[in-house]
Amino acid sequence: MNPASAEAQQQRVFEVLRESAVFGSLEDPILRALAEAIEIRQVHGGERIISEGHRSDSIVFVISGGLRVSRQDPSGQILLYNQIQPGQSIGELGLILNQARAQDVTAVRDSTLALLHRSAYEALLKRFPLALSQVFLKAVYDRLRNVSETGSRRMAQTFALIPLNAQVPTAELARELTLALAHQGRVVLVRAPVAEQNLASLEDEHEFIVYEASAQDEHWAWTQQACRQADQLIFVANAQATPDVAPIEARLSREPGYVLKRKHLAVLHADSCAVPERPDPWLHGRELERIYPLRLSHRRDAERLARFLTGTALGVVLGGGGARGFAHLGVLRALHEAAIPVDLIGGNSMGALIAAQYACGLELPEILRQTQRFATGGEWPALPLVALVRGRRVERDLQAMFGEQLIEQLWKPYFAAACNLSLGKTEVLDHGPLWKAVLASNSPAGLLPPVLHQGALLVDGAILDNVPVQAMRMRLGTPLERRRGNGLLIAIDVDVRERLFADAKLERLSTWSTFKRMAFKNAPASPGIADILYSAAHIGGMSQRSRTVAQADLYLEPPVAEFSLMAYTRAADIAEIGYRYAMEKIGAWDPHKARN
């Protein structure tokens, strides 16, 4: 390396460390000495930098690119941990304590690293003992506490679009995805090989980089580089193509670091397609984070894809609560008017019914009319051996409402929550007939017959969790990195806390005491079977309320206590209250602060 080039690299190391939240606190002479003592190394994406169990002989600083920390469990599964970004370091604790390496560390893309070897570290420590001891211990302490180093340079998020064959119109998707990412920051679309010396400047100048790869053999070297540079791989297929694993996938799977990449599949449908193809066949032989059905002429599809890729997707959870659930429609209207798109939706009971119609693409006024008509349809009583009412009308009307629609063939992801009485757990229904999932979530135990699911008995999910935020949080995160902060979650709770008490003068509840309460206004309080069943069914959800609040980025509780559970004729009024309440809360909400 010529002197001018070495000096330029040292200056870059100095500038990157100066911007670091940890090392930027050092005085300039110490920082300059640190930069001069460091060895520069260029590494390719997928290259192993540190191996678990090996001797700790250096501290590694990231100057450009990035590293991924991982371990392998006894079964051979790879467990992914944090990424090391420009300005951050790894290996301090092992070097200080002279311990073996505790994890594997791999370059996630072509990167420039700076290595501080043991001899250089010890020499610097003699010169600046207090300052360096403090800064390295702080780096270790922050990482152990999972403290975000907000002062460090952020890695540009990089994506590679990889067509499964030459007939896939990847260029059109690349253009749409680039436009969608532009709403979040500076983005560049790269369609040809990039010289190594230009990669760092690309990452410095943009928040997002989209690499458009090729399925043609003559462009294999470019596809290799695009894959090596990308944190996430988006394979692209035509909906009518065979779902078999393509040769390009098999070839890329042998590339170093492939297993550490987040992988997705975008399935392109015709613009006029009403129902997407079933995703299940595409899962065979693949380990994918998600499958996205897309229509290139529908810009909202590409925008939803962009939000999932960048961890900014919004999930909305609608809780149960009888007629009070019409407040959900007001909140959804407020979100629409505030230009806050809903990417996933799910719920329980009335929330599951409204969310299902929303996921089908119905307009909010139509959902209100259809739900009101359904809720006031009545039901025949039954010989109470299984439930108080037969439930046949409810089942018939839900089948008529949703037809043969399968949950996995919705453009917008959806789930319904139910309680599995057989296994004593919340059952999250995100596959199969939509009507059956909604029915299970709307079958209160004792009132309607349980819905059978592979022999298990499913009832209204409020017994365990009336606002299923945990199910949504799991669907916002990635399969390998389940954590709060990946995506945004709005929870809407309309389950009013009602006190269920009998009059203190009553010695026991009876048919006569309850009848008197129904017939005479001033009769002593005597809860009936409907009150008792409702309270019993919701007691678990009530106990989960604190967790619901903690896991939501925005928790909404519209003021609907004045409406009874059966106030279905007041649907429009309840929706209006939900709208006004949500407009006030959303106006004061900062999604960026919630995400951080």
Which residues are known to be catalytic?
349, 460
For every residue of 339-395, DSSP letters joined together read: T----EEEEETHHHHHHHHHHTT--HHHHHHHHHHHHTS---B--TTS-SB--HHHH
Amino acid at 441: S
Q: Could you tell me if 309 and 208 are in contact, meaning their C-beta atoms sit under 8 angstroms apart?
A: no
Q: For 230, which DSSP code?
A: -
3-state secondary structure of 430: coil
Give the distance from CA 545 to its chain's centroid: 21
314 CB neighbour count, 10 Å cutoff: 21
The label of the residue with tokens 């757990």 reads 425
313 CB neighbour count, 10 Å cutoff: 23
Residue 328, C-beta contacts closer than 8 angstroms, at least 6 positions apart: 318, 347, 350, 351, 354, 355, 492, 494, 578
Sign of CA pseudo-dihedral 451, 454, 456, 461:
negative
Tokens of 391: 């439930």
b/e burial code for range 321-337 (CB count within 10 A of at least 16 → b): bbbbbbbbbbbbbbbee
